[in-house]
Structure 1
Amino acid sequence: MMRIGLFLLTNLAVLIVFSIVFAVLSRVFGLSGVFGAGGLNYTSLAVMCLVWGVVGSMISLFLSKWMAKKSTGTVVIDVPKNGTEQWLVDMVARQAKAVGIGMPEVGIFDNPQPNAFATGWNKNNALVAVSTGLIHTMTPDEVEAVLAHEIGHVANGDMITLALIQGVVNAFVMFFARVIGNFVDRVVFKNESNSPGVAYYVTSIVMDILLGILASAIVMWFSRLREYRADEMGAKLAGRDKMISALNALRPAEARPDTMPEAMKAFAISSGQSQSFSIAHLFRSHPSLDDRIAALQKLH
C-alpha cells in the first residue's frame, strides 16, 4: 500500500499545484477568459486543463531518464569493464536491432532484489537498466528474457503512451473538479457574482483529490496491460520458456530486500504483486506474476 500511496500522492500533488496556481491567477489577474458574466466558460476551461495536464506529463516524460538515474543510482555502461557488462551491452544491441529501435543506454543499479526497468522520452533515446541482484541471481537465459521485456516496453512506446494517458486523465480531473466547484459555489452557496467564491476553490481542490484517486485506476489499468504486452515481446525475442523462467525468478524473496525507489516501481519488471484480489488491485501498476505466467502459457 505504501507504493500505491506514494504514486497517488505524486499525481495528486500535480493537481493540487494546478488548483493553487489557478486560484491565485484567477484572483490576481481575473482570468476573464475562464470566468465571465455568465460564470464559468467551459471551452476556455477545457483548453486550459488540457494544456496543464499534457504539458505536466510531458515535462515528467522528458525528465524521466535523468530522474531514473538519480533515484536508483544507475551507472551507465559507457565502456564495458568486464565480460558481464560486455554481454549486457551486446544483448541489448542485438534485441534493439531486432525490433528496429535505436541503441538504448545500458546501466546497472545496486539492488539485491532481481529487477530491471526501461524509461526515456522516445524509442531511440531510452535507458534499460538491471539490478545487481538480477545479474547475480538469474541465469543468462533469464537475464536475456528480462532485457527483451524491457526492450518491448521501449519498442511499444509505453513511456510516452503512459505519459499521454496520464496527461489526458489529469485534464479531465481538473475540468470536472472545477465544474463541480462552480456548481457548489453558485447553486449551493448562491454566489451570483461574476467572480468565483471561496466555495469554488475549496470544492475544486477537494474534487481534484477525490477524482484524482478514481482516475488513477484508469492509468494503472493501462500500466498492467503494457506489462502483458512487454512479456509477449520478451517471449518473442528470447523465447516463451525463458520469459516464464525469468518471471518465476522474480518472485519476492524476503532475504533480498527490494530497494527500488517507490517512484520507479511502476516502471520496473517486478513490483512484488500478490495474487489476491482487492480494491487495491485496481491501483496496482503490475499484474501478479501468476497472471503474467498464465498469459504467456496461452501463447502459441
Structure 2
Amino acid sequence: MSYLRTAMLLAGLTALFMGVGYLIGGSGGAMIALLIAAATNLLAYWNSDRMVLSTYGAQEVDQRTAPDLVNMVADLARRAKLPMPRVYLMDNPQPNAFATGRNPQNAAVAVTTGLMQSLSREELAGVIAHELAHIKHHDTLLMTITATIAGAISMVAQFGMFFGGNRNNNGPGIIGSIAMMILAPLGAMLVQMAISRTREYAADNLGARIVGQPMWLASALVKISNAAHAVPNMEAERNPATAHMFIINPLSGHGVDNLFSTHPSTENRIAALQQLAAEFGSVPSARPTARDSRAGGSSQSRGPWG
C-alpha cells in the first residue's frame, strides 16, 4: 500500500470534514472540524482496528476456545511468511470475513460464525488466505482508517442536520442542511472509490497461491455471495462505510446501499481464479458460478496446504 495514497485519501477526507464544519458554523466551524479531523485521523491510525472489531462484536479466540480456526490461521500465516495475526470470531449468521490492523505486526483476522458453519475446511482456508493476502499487501491500514473516518463524517453531517447549518439568523439553514444530507453519502462514496476493486483481485490471487488451490476460494466466494443476499448483516447495514472491508459486500443492496458496491462481481473473481487454476494445472470439470452454491469446495483435488 502506497503511503502517498494513504496521505492523499486522509487529506481528502479531512477537507470533506472541514466542508461539513463550514456549513454548520462558518469559518469557525471549519477550524473546529479541522481539529476534530486531526484527532480522528490520529485515533483511527492507532485504534481503528479495535473500533471496527468492537462494532461487529468480535471476540478474540485462541487455541483453547477455537483450536481448529487458530491452527489454520497460524499454518497459513507461516506459508505467507507473516506474523501470526490475532483471530476473532463474530456472532453473525451471514458468512463473511475481514482483516484489519495498521501493519502485519498488528493485524487481526475476523470471521463470522456463519462462515465457520457454512464452508468446508478447504473453502475456509481459501478465505483465510485471502485475508492474509490483504495483510501482506498492507491493505488493512487504508481499509480500516477510511471506514472509521467516513463513519465520523456521516455522524458530523447528521449532527449538523439536527442542530443547524445556520451561521446567523439570515443564513441559508435549509440549503446547508440539504447540502449536508448530500455530503454524508458522498463521503461514503469517496471511501468506496478509494478502495480499488483491483485490490480484491490481488488478494484473491495471492490468497490462492498461499493456500495452493484457487478453486477452494472460488467455491467459498460463491457460497458467501449467495448467502450475503439472503442473510442480513445488521451491523453492516448500520455501518455501511465498513462494507469494503469484507471479502464479499455484506450489504443487502436496498436503498442507498448500492453506493457501497465496491467489490468486483463474484463471476469475474471466479473467472480470474479459474484462469489461475489453469496455470496451476488443477482446472475443475465445471466452473462454479454465483448461482451454484455447491460448486467447487472440498470436491476439488487437494493442494499443498492441509
TM-score by length of 2: 0.62
* Structure 2 partner of 1:192: none
- Larger RCO of the pair (alpha carbons < 8 Å, separation 6+): 1
Indicate the RMSD between aligned Cα atoms, in angstroms.
Answer: 4.2
Structure 2 residue runs of 5 or longer lacking an equivalent are 1-12, 152-167, 280-306
Compared with structure 1, are the counterparts of its residues 169 and 79 closer, same or farther at alpha carbon in structure 2 (3 Å cutoff)? closer
Amino acid at match of 2:96: N
* Structure 2 partner of 1:251: 225
* Structure 1 partner of 2:269: 292
Compared with structure 1, are the counterparts of its residues 18 and 56 closer, same or farther at alpha carbon in structure 2 (3 Å cutoff)? farther
Residue 244 (structure 2) pairs with residue 266 (structure 1): yes
Larger Rg: 1
- Residue correspondence of structure 1 range 268-283 to structure 2 within 5 A: 268-272=246-250, 283=260
In 2, the alpha carbon distance for the partners of 1:105 and 1:153 equals: 14
In 2, the alpha carbon distance for the partners of 1:138 and 1:169 equals: 32
Compared with structure 1, are the counterparts of its residues 58 and 94 closer, same or farther at alpha carbon in structure 2 (3 Å cutoff)? farther
Q: Secondary structure at the match of 1:119?
A: strand
In 1, the alpha carbon distance for the partners of 2:49 and 2:149 equals: 22
> Structure 1 residue 211: deviation in Å?
5.6
2:124 to 126, 143, 164: 143
Q: Secondary structure at the match of 2:268?
A: helix
Q: Secondary structure at the match of 2:79?
A: helix
2:43 to 54, 59, 68: 59
Q: Secondary structure at the match of 1:128?
A: strand
* Structure 1 partner of 2:155: none
* Structure 1 partner of 2:25: 23
The answer to whether the Cα contact below 8 Å between 1:118 and 1:150 also exists between their aligned partners in 2 is yes
Amino acid at match of 1:121: R
* Structure 1 partner of 2:105: 124
1:233 to 182, 201, 206: 206
- Residue correspondence of structure 1 range 86-105 to structure 2 within 5 A: 86-105=67-86
In 1, the alpha carbon distance for the partners of 2:120 and 2:214 equals: 15
In 2, the alpha carbon distance for the partners of 1:198 and 1:89 equals: 61
In 2, the alpha carbon distance for the partners of 1:20 and 1:261 equals: 31
Compared with structure 1, are the counterparts of its residues 118 and 20 closer, same or farther at alpha carbon in structure 2 (3 Å cutoff)? same
In 2, the alpha carbon distance for the partners of 1:67 and 1:281 equals: 24
- Residue correspondence of structure 1 range 159-174 to structure 2 within 5 A: 159-162=140-143
In 1, the alpha carbon distance for the partners of 2:218 and 2:76 equals: 18
Task: Give aligned pairs, total.
Answer: 242
In 2, the alpha carbon distance for the partners of 1:99 and 1:65 equals: 21
The answer to whether the Cα contact below 8 Å between 2:232 and 2:252 also exists between their aligned partners in 1 is no
> Structure 1 residue 240: deviation in Å?
0.8
Amino acid at match of 2:82: I
- Residue correspondence of structure 1 range 163-242 to structure 2 within 5 A: 210=182, 213-214=185-186, 216-223=188-195, 224-238=197-211, 239-242=213-216
1:70 to 47, 54, 78: 54
Structure 1 residue runs of 5 or longer lacking an equivalent are 1-10, 28-33, 35-44, 171-195
Amino acid at match of 1:119: T
In 2, the alpha carbon distance for the partners of 1:159 and 1:255 equals: 25
Amino acid at match of 1:65: D
The answer to whether the Cα contact below 8 Å between 1:121 and 1:160 also exists between their aligned partners in 2 is yes
> Structure 1 residue 221: deviation in Å?
3.2
Compared with structure 1, are the counterparts of its residues 49 and 255 closer, same or farther at alpha carbon in structure 2 (3 Å cutoff)? closer
The answer to whether the Cα contact below 8 Å between 2:40 and 2:149 also exists between their aligned partners in 1 is no
